[in-house]
Structure 1
């Protein structure tokens, strides 16, 4: 069972999203919040697997809450769900470590798919902003870390992370133990000075590895 925290300030929208999510028997909305501050409090009180976070909320915005949550728990999975097809918002969300940026007019299948992708280490970007965001990721304005820091095995693992593979799937592809894969991921993060798998995926895109 995947336990979800739903942070959305509009009650009717929140109820609609909850109904969409819980169409999947493996998903459960374990907690709700109406602003970023409540989202942080709820995350710390409940066993949450992934957060669906609105951007514009009173008291504290979703991006502010995302920044705080990721600083406290780098492994936190946060999917931005918003009405704003804004590439700057999307870039900031990804920079902060969000696992995706999805618009609220998405259908249930897209929402569920994005949640599953986020749980497996993938990144989902709504098609309405992807056209602007992806070129910025591929052609960044700042130099990237040199790829030669990584061994061939580490580069293979990085490519699989960017493909959205989880540790179990990578272990099967590479014929390694899950523990060995986890160790490799940790070493890659340390070598590149990155925080989490989302940043690894962005790094791989920027360096033309996918």
Structure 2
């Protein structure tokens, strides 16, 4: 039985790093096809066994660019990442990313992570995958799912995501302080940070983020004259 060819797309804004990575991986995965990508627009309609290696160090947070692997296809692996709290990792899972490797372990763990993804496994911390599973089974999981996605998109801290969830439920600052066992001033600081990161003027505008949704839309390409 013949297996479909596997294409690996190294998506990076650092050409020297990309060259080095392709040279190394091509000696390990000798049957795979490798492509170096610098433009996001080329990564649409990917096959199930296509794999995108996303260099977070040179390209920035993929969630802030509303990149949705669920809509683009393929398996997407974030590499060269800063350490994330589990809530942010859950947000990437919700968006459809298949794995994440922090910067210090990227080169060491990448071959193992690629094999795991090609075997239809995820490559996140056990804690992040456990939290993601709990979101699916909990009542009101859709709201939790959305908060995790938005948390990843706007780079909210773990505490900020908790406060955000309370705000969406219409809780007052005092109720949030009691629920999280923190001071009222700390709640106000978290709310201020959330508004600043999401570019909203008031807490009442935060619900519009859920209505907007995290889905990515294909953009028409402009042709230079």
Q: Normalised by the size of structure 1, how large is the TM-score?
A: 0.51
Gaps of 5+ in 1: 146-210
Structure-2 separation of matches of 1:46 and 1:143: 32
Counterpart position of 1:120? 119
Counterpart position of 2:8? 4
Where do residues 7-156 of structure 1 align in structure 2 (5 Å cutoff)?
Answer: 7-24=11-28, 25-33=30-38, 38-39=39-40, 41-44=41-44, 49-55=50-56, 57=58, 61-64=61-64, 67-71=67-71, 73=72, 75-87=73-85, 88-106=87-105, 108=107, 110-125=109-124, 130=125, 132-137=127-132, 139-140=134-135, 143=138
Matched-pair contact (CA < 8 Å) for 2:10–2:37: yes
Deviation at 1:56, TM superposition (A): 5.2
**Structure 1 residues 142 and 122: CA distance shift in structure 2, 3 A:** closer
Q: Normalised by the size of structure 2, how large is the TM-score?
A: 0.48
Matched-pair contact (CA < 8 Å) for 2:69–2:75: no
Matched pairs, number: 134
Structure-1 separation of matches of 2:43 and 2:51: 9
Query: What RMSD over aligned residues (CA atoms) do the two structures have, in Å?
Result: 3.4
Q: Which shows bigger deviation, 135-144 or 113-122? A: 135-144
Matched-pair contact (CA < 8 Å) for 2:69–2:96: no
Structure-2 separation of matches of 1:109 and 1:26: 21
Structure-2 separation of matches of 1:89 and 1:114: 19
Gaps of 5+ in 2: 141-225
**Structure 1 residues 9 and 15: CA distance shift in structure 2, 3 A:** same
Structure-1 separation of matches of 2:123 and 2:68: 21
Structure-2 separation of matches of 1:89 and 1:57: 19
Per-residue CA deviation, residues 117-158 of structure 1 (Å, 9 max, x unaligned), is 212210012xxxx2652453355497159xxxxxxxxxxxxx
Matched-pair contact (CA < 8 Å) for 1:81–1:104: yes
**Structure 1 residues 28 and 101: CA distance shift in structure 2, 3 A:** same
Structure-1 separation of matches of 2:68 and 2:10: 16
Per-residue CA deviation, residues 51-110 of structure 1 (Å, 9 max, x unaligned), is 11123555x742355734422x4x421111123111244222111111111123336562
Structure-2 separation of matches of 1:77 and 1:46: 9
Matched-pair contact (CA < 8 Å) for 1:53–1:78: yes
